[in-house]
Structure 1
């Protein structure tokens, strides 16, 4: 039996039919984890690791998850972007672009923030002791701020990211929508 064959699934095809064109092994793709299926409505990107003869494929996502399913639910990053019908009704725009609008760039995970993030009072920076975890950005100060995604940063780095940079968590790249002061 060859490397691309298996007893259960048969010979691996060279392509399968995706939502916006042909999908091949190793291709960068994206799928939406819809609200209807219990997800968060966001788009997730990954790489196709296996194709199956029944127009199915397996994806290894950038966040480490895997999925095997119908290739018609998979959008190639090289093909045309998903249309408005791909989004769940009432969902915010995907990738910062309203649903149905033409997009030149691939869809990325994003959350649109309609109002500026309100920062709590920022304490003076305090260097971490040798046995304490340090801020993942500056790697010096104690982490005294918590983002809605659960990641922690020091106040100075949080303020800089929210006010001067892209406003995304530097660890998981989720748009920052809430910052809470931590006292321990």
Structure 2
């Protein structure tokens, strides 16, 4: 039996033209899930799984998702960064849509009331496992205020998914 994908889409070319140079099968790349298309503005890394003759490619992302689209929207990780040297790879280009308190490691969080003990195991902070979750991070994970203060002060990464913390929003229980 032959490759079904080759039957439908023709032979696979050796290279296609990406946004910052040529792309080959197996190359490490990134694409942006733009806010305009309903995304979060972040860049996601993956590996080119297949090339198509109409300058399209299929990417298998590190999180297991796949995408097929125009190769001109794909940036090679070993080429020049998108948007010039001022935009770091892996960071959003557009500002977030939701207005919230922006947290930087050098910026202190505003004073927060002390965390309250949770009244059921389902509503406890995943870090301390005792307080109510009254803070939410931009990734959607919730923590108690005490743990949020500690984490932002140490490494500024979500303890659940390890994404850099850029926003913290107070949730009122």
When normalised by structure 1's length, the TM-score is: 0.67
Give the conservation status (yes or no) of the 8 Å contact 1:118–1:178: no
User: What corresponds to 1:81 in structure 2?
Assistant: 81
For the structure 1 residues 119 and 147, does the alpha-carbon distance in structure 2 shift closer, same or farther, using more than 3 Å as the test?
farther
Root-mean-square deviation (CA, aligned residues, Å) is: 3.2
Q: Does 1:7 align with 2:11?
A: no
Equivalenced residues, count? 161
User: What corresponds to 1:145 in structure 2?
Assistant: 134
Task: Give runs of aligned pairs for residues 1-184 of structure 1, distance below 5 A.
Answer: 2-3=2-3, 5-37=5-37, 39-84=39-84, 100-101=85-86, 107-109=89-91, 113=102, 116=107, 117-118=109-110, 120-123=112-115, 126=117, 131-132=121-122, 134-138=124-128, 140-149=129-138, 150-166=140-156, 168-172=157-161, 173-183=163-173
For the structure 1 residues 127 and 146, does the alpha-carbon distance in structure 2 shift closer, same or farther, using more than 3 Å as the test?
closer
Question: Within 1, Cα distance between the matches of 2:21 and 2:122?
Answer: 50
Give the conservation status (yes or no) of the 8 Å contact 2:135–2:145: no
Report deviation, 1:10.
0.9
Q: Structure 2 regions of 5+ residues with no counterpart?
A: 97-101
Report deviation, 1:57.
0.5
When normalised by structure 2's length, the TM-score is: 0.71
